[in-house]
Chains A and B, each alone.
Chain A
Amino acid sequence: MDRLTPVEQRAPGRWQIGTVAAIKRETPRVKSFRIALPMWMAHLPGQHYDVRLTAPDGYRAQRSYSIASSPLDEPEIELTIDRLEDGEVSPYFHDVVVEGDEVEVRGPFTSYFVWRGEQPALLVGGGSGVVPLMAMLRHRRRTMPDLAMRLVYSVRAPDDVIYADELGDDALLTFTRSAPSGWSGHTGRLDGSFIAQAAGATTAGVAFICGSNGFVESAGELLLDAGFEAGQIRTERFGPT
């Protein structure tokens, strides 16, 4: 188990200048940025980093982004960023940042929405809410591939699937607006039967839900109906109501 979560609770968090080592376009709206850190520290899957941009006149903007990578990827972290049209930090990353650029970050932070090796685990993500869940899935695949973990991933359309080339048998997708041609899986919003199918016997374990507030609200209700205890369900929400 010590290989799974080798993270002690020591103080993280000084600002540092990382270097963008690689950029991958995941979808038309989403890119992943691998950032090499001079003061790397192992994170728990589910944790986030803060990013700070500074203009020449000193004006600054900060945002938090979930880590998508396994903590085995020393000395890098991967931040997957959804481009928000009216945003300030995400358009900068999408439109300006290129490989080799320096970015100011600090982390990893907070230890609630984190996976510490509990099983079975059901991960439920909506849209870019899949990002912290991917850190859990990736880390589990590399450390304990037999551990019972399943991802339920709700996306609008085929173009919106982040990490499409990495989703295997341990991921169940549903397309809420349009599915790929020939798709025989679930379509439409999450519902009780889909959750029951995905959860199987995992209602005895933990569940992580991440997405927009509306998504998390409805997914939370479905998991309670499926037999999960409220105390087993951890949620993370983003976006205004």
Chain B
Amino acid sequence: MSAFVSRGFTGRRRTSAELRVRLPPGQYAEQGFPVLTAGPTPDVPVGEWRLRIDGMVARPQEWTWEQFAQLPFEAVRCDIHCVTKWSKLDTSFGGVSLDTLLAQVEPRGSYATAWSHGGYTTNLSIDDLSDGKAWVVTEYEGDRLPREHGGPARLLVPHLYFWKSAKWLEGIRVMDHDEPGFWESNGYHNRGDPWKEQRYWTD
């Protein structure tokens, strides 16, 4: 840690000690839920919604909204961390674990690219999608996931910076190699672990 001190800065928005341990380095607790999107907000009617998992898998699968609703639902309570410095503690989402979805397709590769309506992509390792660490969620705080937050369905990978939790999720392609997605090609870190403060390429 450098010895630099900002003259006259004392910090007026300090988080309580009990919450501070839940904030990764460089993050602050935000009460609202900011929206960060690279383009206009897509409008995907649930009647037309499909979720697809394909690529290097034993059995590619596609679910309609009704089929997806038949899968075992989980309530997820988690803290989310955005690379733009805000964190939101104690959020609750509802959706299907990637463990459930991946078990149906049987991945044969170690990497994945999630893609969204509007062309957004993000890359993740299968490890980061497995073992109770990732979900496809359709509910937020007990209600239908709002469109501006990625509804009808978004990826939720709360242990990584939130750009990995792709909004308006359309599918996940399993691959044998890692390929940088949208933000990963535009300056943000390839993995994005907030606890290691992996914000940008060189972190």
Q: Which chain A residues have a beta carbon within 8 Å of chain B's beta carbons?
A: 11-15, 17, 50, 52-56, 58-64, 86-88, 91-92, 96, 101-104, 109-113, 213, 216-217, 220-221, 223-224, 230-231, 233-235, 237-241
Contacts and interface: CB of A to CB of B under 8 A. Distances in A.
B1 A230 contact: no
Contact of A59 (B2, B11, B39, B188): B11
A237 B12 contact: no
Contacts of B148: 213, 217, 241
Interface string B59-93: 00000000000000000000000001100000000
12 contacts: A11-B201, A12-B200, A12-B202, A55-B6, A59-B14, A110-B188, A112-B187, A113-B38, A213-B148, A221-B40, A237-B36, A240-B32
Interface of B: 1-2, 4-14, 25-26, 28, 30-41, 84-85, 118-119, 148, 182-183, 186-188, 199-203
B4 A54 contact: yes
Contacts of A88: 11-13, 28
Given A55-B11, A102-B7, A13 B39 contact: no
A96 B8 contact: yes
Main secondary structure, interface of A, reads mixed
B34 A52 contact: no
A230 B8 CA distance: 45
Contacts, number: 120
Nearest to A224: B40
Contacts of A92: 6, 8-9
Contacts of A17: 4
Contacts of B199: 50
A220 B6 contact: no
